[in-house]
Structure 1
Amino acid sequence: MKILVFSLLAIGTLALTSCKENKEQKSTTETSMQHDMSMMSDNSAMGDMPMDEKVTVIDAKKTSANLTELYSHYTHLTFALSGDDDKEAVNTAKGILEALPKINKKGFSAEQKKEYAELESSIKEHAQHIADNAGNIDHQREHLDLMSEDFYDLLKDFGTSKTVYKIFCPMYNDNKGAFWLSDSREIKNPYYGKKMASCGEVQEEIK
């Protein structure tokens, strides 16, 4: 009888010990799973991070120059080419040529006058090529590529009244890529037009 009681007590003790170990193991497993889920959630959030976090922001230098009209013609040029409209591109290029002499340079330093003169000459050359090439939209787009670099330097060094977005197309010019400037984040690719209107991504903000 004593042996039976002892055996029952031993079995009970083993059962309690086993139950306790199972609970501890379950608790440890649940904690580990919760930690893993938390890590997955954090990684997922990082993966969903908006592209805005990767955009470079540039503070433009402010001067007395009012580039609003000139830049407006440039944006109309990109819209014309994004719509495959070579004739409207001619009109907007002529608008650029007319707006260039209107820029007030009285507040410029000697260095700024020199820099502006170089950019003005280059912009004028590219605008003239675009204006002279109705019916040859590929040639117009080649000069938009070069002109966009001039406008980028112009706005960065002489100021902008509103945020301007630099949008990059990686496929243009045999995958060398090219960019254009826009008032909006909306992608309307002037290098491919309607064929690939949404090709591009915002690289920088100029403020």
Structure 2
Amino acid sequence: MKKQTLVAALIALSGFALPLRAQHQHHATPQSQTPTTKIDADFQQQLATVYLQSQSLLKAFVNSDAAQVQQTARDVEKALSQVNMKLLSGNDHMSWMQQVKTLQNSLQQMSARTDLTAQRQQLDLFSETLYQSIKQFGIGEQTVYYQHCPMAREGKGGYWLSAQQAIQNPYFGQKMLTCGSTKEVLP
């Protein structure tokens, strides 16, 4: 009986530890990770469209233009709505369902707010989730620079995804345009 209880406790703890480790995996040493299962190329292309559309959102943040952030967030949300989750199955499908909810919510919050600081809070959550999606599913041959500014969000740090290696900090715009570093390059 004690052995069964111990095994059950270990299983429960490992189930608890895995989500925590996955949530903070990006803080580890940068490395490339490719999807472990075969992901439909159409799904990858649709996700790539979301990523490419998000670059306009990034530019609006770099320009510190709250009205443009609102508009481009709607554009990214439209691209996100075109991603066909039926192209995924099993755990990939379930994972995407969680990720897409977070992405949609972040974009809706950006488009509903006129305050740039509040919009930038959502940028971090959006970027983190899109990063996880791209790592899990891939986006074909697009290069993604996963970048970070340790001073963003009042010293909490902030991440973003960029199509270019040169740093253009969306959290501070022209005030500190080149503050940050590339943490990982995704193929």
Identify whether the pair has TM-score above 0.5, normalized to the shorter chain.
Answer: yes
Compute the displacement of 1:114 (Å): 0.7
Work out whether residues 168 and 179 of structure 1, in 8 Å CA contact, stay in contact via their aligned partners in 2: yes
Which residue does 2:156 correspond to in 1? 176
Which residue does 1:63 correspond to in 2? 39
Work out whether residues 82 and 188 of structure 1, in 8 Å CA contact, stay in contact via their aligned partners in 2: yes
Aligned-pair identity (%): 30
Give the structure-1-normalised TM-score. 0.70
The SS at the match of 1:57 is coil
Question: Deviations for 1:34-78, whole angstroms, at most 9, x for unmatched residues?
Answer: xxxxxxxxxxxxxxxxxxxxx833133162212122112211111
Compute the displacement of 1:95 (Å): 1.1
Work out whether residues 60 and 160 of structure 1, in 8 Å CA contact, stay in contact via their aligned partners in 2: no
Q: Which runs of 5+ in 1 are unaligned?
A: 1-54
Aligned residue pairs: how many? 152
Amino acid of the residue matched to residue 106 of structure 1? K
Compute the displacement of 1:106 (Å): 3.2
The SS at the match of 1:127 is helix
Question: Deviations for 1:79-123, whole angstroms, at most 9, x for unmatched residues?
Answer: 110111111111111012212221123331221111001010011
Work out whether residues 57 and 69 of structure 2, in 8 Å CA contact, stay in contact via their aligned partners in 1: yes
Work out whether residues 80 and 86 of structure 1, in 8 Å CA contact, stay in contact via their aligned partners in 2: yes
Work out whether residues 85 and 97 of structure 2, in 8 Å CA contact, stay in contact via their aligned partners in 1: no
- Bigger CA radius of gyration: 1
Q: Which runs of 5+ in 2 are unaligned?
A: 1-28
Compute the displacement of 1:176 (Å): 2.1
Q: Does residue 72 of structure 1 match 2:52? A: yes
TM superposition outliers: structure 1 runs of 4+ over 6 Å:
none
Alpha-carbon separation, structure 1, partners of 2:71 and 2:153:
25
Question: Deviations for 1:152-207, whole angstroms, at most 9, x for unmatched residues?
Answer: 11100010221211111011123221111111111110001111111001110111
Amino acid of the residue matched to residue 63 of structure 1? I
The SS at the match of 1:98 is helix
More displaced 10-residue stretch of structure 1: 186-195 or 174-183: 174-183
Alpha-carbon separation, structure 2, partners of 1:176 and 1:138:
14
